[in-house]
């Protein structure tokens, strides 16, 4: 029986390839936890057969290599047509919020195609897939759960909620039965916690950055989230955490001082001198940063807010907040 595995991180794909559990392993990685979400039509063009795609835009096969997909490249297969070539299609999903968002997006995207959903099974884990040994991954395969109608229904409701123009539908997921997708509830909460806090105007990861500086961790890379790191927030990746730190240091009224260089982008990383200066930065909290950590300051009262949270555009005039103490959503 031919088997295809989709996972949502490159490290996870590497581990699954090493375990030799399938004829083909593919990582589909979109970042849905921050930034403006793609329009539905963008996905249709990206995953359509190449001949049917509009113009010369990106195609889902562009960055994929390997013997198992050579024919797909030659024929310009769409995602649906590619899945139909396999008897089984497995989804291996980590616990982080972005992987959970990718799971609900992919299930919702595949939902109209019964000839594909009938082949789907999912395995969800609390561990980082790419850090596991091949023998462990082989044992996990026995825990695959066939996708049923309730999985597809829950994914559709959740993806619609994340794309909504206010956080209310996402918050309302906490009142719904999400048992079909058992790792989703914790991600719902984690993403709500990244809304501006009712008191500080900062999300949970931003607050953790300030708390670590206050505790004496003064170099940028000491603050970044990651496996076995002091910052145990799992919502944002390396590049996103760097952008958050930039935003706290390079704004009209900074909450962090001492950050040398920036922005935190590929150009800085490729310049050894600039990157070294960045790494040697010694950070400190400004007066506003100290006030925020003490519970007496609000970032949004001193700085502009202009960012996306799912389908919600957050601005100072339209600032949805999260009250962690009462676990409630606060409307503008």
pLDDT for the residue 227: 63
Share of the chain above pLDDT 90, in %: 74
- pLDDT band at 52, cuts 50/70/90? low
Higher pLDDT residue, 159 or 135?
Answer: 159
Predicted confidence (pLDDT) at residue 54 exceeds the cutoff of 60 = no
113-122 pLDDT, tens per residue? 999 999 999 9
What CATH architecture is 3-163? 3-Layer(aba) Sandwich (3.40)
pLDDT for the residue 250: 96
C-alpha 200/C-alpha 110 separation (Å) is: 40
122-132 pLDDT, tens per residue? 999 888 888 88
pLDDT for the residue 18: 87
- Among the ranges 42-46, 141-145, 154-158, which has the highest mean pLDDT value? 154-158
pLDDT for the residue 225: 84
CA-closest candidate to residue 79, choices 103, 53, 118: 53
Q: What residue segments make up the domains of the chain, in order of their start?
A: 3-163, 204-304
- pLDDT band at 185, cuts 50/70/90? very high
Predicted confidence (pLDDT) at residue 95 exceeds the cutoff of 60 = yes
DSSP string, 71-105: HHHHHT--HHHHHTTSSEEEEEE-SSHHHHHHHHH
Which residues, 6+ apart, have CB-to-CB distance to 243 below 8 Å?
Answer: 263, 264
- Find the DSSP H helices in the chain: 10-19, 40-47, 70-75, 79-83, 97-110, 114-117, 134-140, 149-163, 168-172, 184-192, 204-214, 220-223, 238-249, 266-270, 272-280, 287-293
- The chain-wide mean pLDDT, for the chain, equals 92
Supply the pTM of this predicted model.
0.93
pLDDT for the residue 233: 77
Query: Cβ-count burial of 323 within 10 angstroms (0-12 exposed, 13-18 middle, 19+ buried)?
Result: middle
Decide the pairing of beta strands 256-257 and 328-330.
Answer: unpaired
11-40 pLDDT, tens per residue? 888 889 888 889 999 999 999 999 999 998
The length of the chain in residues reads 332
Is the distance from CB of 31 to CB of 240 less than 8 angstroms? yes
């Amino acid at each position: 029986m031919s088997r295809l595995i989709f996972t949502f991180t490159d490290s996870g794909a590497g581990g699954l390839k090493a375990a030799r559990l399938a004829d083909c392993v593919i990582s589909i990685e979109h970042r849905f936890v921050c930034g403006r979400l793609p329009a539905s039509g963008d996905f249709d063009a990206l995953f359509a057969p190449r001949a049917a795609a509009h113009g010369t835009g990106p195609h889902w096969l562009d960055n994929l290599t390997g013997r198992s997909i050579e024919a797909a490249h030659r024929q310009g297969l769409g995602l649906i047509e590619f899945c139909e070539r396999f008897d089984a299609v497995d989804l291996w999903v980590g616990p982080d919020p972005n992987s959970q968002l990718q799971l609900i997006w992919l299930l919702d995207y595949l939902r109209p195609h019964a000839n594909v959903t009938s082949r789907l099974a999912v395995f969800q884990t609390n561990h980082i897939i790419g850090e596991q040994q091949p023998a462990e991954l082989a044992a996990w395969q026995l825990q695959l759960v066939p996708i049923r109608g309730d999985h597809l229904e829950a994914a559709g409701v959740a993806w619609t909620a994340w794309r909504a123009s206010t956080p209310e539908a996402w918050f309302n997921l906490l009142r719904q039965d999400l048992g079909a997708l058992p790792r989703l509830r914790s991600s719902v909460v984690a993403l709500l916690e990244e809304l501006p806090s009712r008191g500080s105007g900062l999300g949970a990861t931003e607050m953790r950055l300030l708390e670590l500086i206050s505790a004496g961790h003064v170099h940028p890379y000491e603050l970044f989230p990651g496996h076995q790191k002091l910052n145990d927030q799992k919502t944002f990746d390396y590049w996103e955490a760097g952008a958050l730190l930039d935003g706290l240091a390079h704004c009209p009224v900074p909450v962090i001082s001492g950050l040398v260089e920036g922005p935190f982008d590929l150009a800085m990383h490729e310049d050894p001198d600039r990157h070294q200066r960045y790494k040697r930065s010694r950070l400190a909290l400004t007066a506003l940063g100290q006030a925020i950590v003490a519970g007496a300051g609000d970032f949004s009262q001193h700085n502009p807010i202009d960012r996306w949270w799912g389908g919600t555009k957050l601005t100072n005039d339209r600032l949805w907040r999260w009250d962690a103490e009462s676990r409630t959503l606060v409307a503008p």
